[in-house]
Amino acid sequence: MRPRLYVDLSKIRANAQRVLEFLSKHGIELVAVTKVTLGDPNIARVLREAGVRIIGESRIQNVERLISSGVTGPFMMLRIPQLSEIDSIVGLCDYILVSELDVVRKIEELCREKKHRTKLIYMVDVGDLREGVWYENAVEEVVQAAKMCDWAELCGVGTNLGCYGGVLASEENMRMLLNIRDNVERLTKKSFPIVSGGNTSALKLVEEERLPQGVNQFRVGEAIYLGTDVTNNREISWLERDAFILEAEVIELKTKPSVPVGETGFDAFGRKPNFFDKGWRRRAILALGEQDTVPGQLKPLDEKVEVIHASSDHTIVDISDVDRSIRVGDTMKFRLTYAALLRAMTCPHVEKIYV
């Protein structure tokens, strides 16, 4: 069998509903993000059933996949666009996050040509060092962008946190974003109603009632699918955490030493594994590898199983402490982290089973 990824649509629906309800109580609109699912239409449909209005995607190919499976917009393009793809993005997405004046100019041209309206959110970097104009230069650049727009509609500012620098959402950085919006409004005498302040990592701020008034849109993926918040290193107690389960088959069972024999170099991926001498151990090899998921980030459902290491197609697990008997041909199940889920969803060798 191929590795199997069980997708529990009812748990995803429940999570989407809970996040939606929680945010709307605080006056925040939810953009539900499907990029970690490769734009999976079954999942997108469930998000719609939960009442999600805008679907966020990072790849135009995923938006195309959704549309061709009958999922309708509005769609938001999350990754700041490539000039080479702008044509199709403007055609298919109702909202686009942007951070370059050249891109805004091009979108405006296309909108004018097609007599088409597209909404833009200008990204501001409040410290995480991924996309966006640096906050100290933001007012000037966003004002310039606003002046370029006529058919395109600049409707707000946004920021992304917790992705490169691991910077956490705070009252301070959310206030910075709000101040930038207010200053741009003052200088242009126009209104910019959307303040798109966060992703999963910002939910905590809302839970603690510390989100400044005025931040009114969150773009959320991880929390809905996994019920975790990797940036804050926490599980979100009010969400389901096993909507996705990965299953793989045992192809070898042997007892071997825990330290290799012979002079050692690097592994197949250029890494230098650490070995701890625990004596001889009972180990299983699974038909699963780096190609299918991020094995080192899998969380075995049986806590006595320990993932030791993996190469492209083999994952080695220590089962010395497992009570039940395991045989070749049996399977093992795992929860996933965001990175492990991303790779599993995007790998064609992993079978997706919707339950």
Ligand X SMILES: *Cc1c(COP(=O)(O)O)cnc(C)c1O
Residue 138 CB, shortest distance to ligand X, in Å, is: 16
Among residues 15, 62, 118, 160, the one that binds ligand X under rule CB under 6 A? 160
- Residues 81-100 touching ligand X, rule: CB under 6 A, are 97
3-state secondary structure of 93: coil
Neighbours of 220 (CB within 10 A): 25
Burial of 323 (0-12, 13-18, 19+ CB in 10 A): exposed
Query: d(Cα 214, Cα 228) in Å, to the nearest integer?
Result: 25
Q: Is 78 in the site for ligand X (CB under 6 A)?
A: yes
Residue 78 CB, shortest distance to ligand X, in Å, is: 4
- Residues 294-353 touching ligand X, rule: CB under 6 A, are none
For ligand X, the closer CB: 23 or 248: 23
Buried b (16+ CB within 10 A) or exposed e, 234-260: eebeebbbebbbbbbbbeebeeeeeee
Query: d(Cα 92, Cα 105) in Å, to the nearest integer?
Result: 18
Residue 14 CB, shortest distance to ligand X, in Å, is: 17
Q: Which residue has the tokens 């990204």?
A: 123
Residue 279 CB, shortest distance to ligand X, in Å, is: 41
- Residues 161-200 touching ligand X, rule: CB under 6 A, are 199-200
Residue 128 CB, shortest distance to ligand X, in Å, is: 11
DSSP secondary structure code for residue 129 in this structure: -
For ligand X, the closer CB: 238 or 269: 238
Query: d(Cα 320, Cα 15) in Å, to the nearest integer?
Result: 36
Residue 76 CB, shortest distance to ligand X, in Å, is: 9
Burial of 151 (0-12, 13-18, 19+ CB in 10 A): middle
**How big is the site for ligand X, counted in residues (CB under 6 A)?**
12
- Catalytic-labelled residue, pool 11, 35, 204, 352: 35
For ligand X, the closer CB: 121 or 184: 121
DSSP secondary structure code for residue 136 in this structure: G
Query: d(Cα 309, Cα 293) in Å, to the nearest integer?
Result: 12
Whether 316 contacts 285, CB under 8 Å = yes
For ligand X, the closer CB: 188 or 216: 216
Neighbours of 29 (CB within 10 A): 16
For ligand X, the closer CB: 58 or 315: 58
Beta bridge partners, 142, equal: none
For ligand X, the closer CB: 104 or 332: 104
Among residues 4, 11, 13, 35, the one that binds ligand X under rule CB under 6 A? 35
Among residues 20, 23, 28, 33, the one that binds ligand X under rule CB under 6 A? 33
Q: Which residue is nearest to ligand X (CB)?
A: 221
Annotation marks residue 352 as catalytic: no
What does the angle CA 237 – CA 241 – CA 244 come to, to the nearest 5 degrees? 170
- Residues 140-159 touching ligand X, rule: CB under 6 A, are none
Whether 55 contacts 31, CB under 8 Å = yes
Give the contact letters, 207-226, x = binds to ligand X (CB under 6 A), - = no: ------------xxxx----
Which positions are catalytic?
35
The residues of the shown chain that bind ligand X, judged by CB under 6 A, are 33, 35, 58, 78, 97, 160, 199-200, 219-222
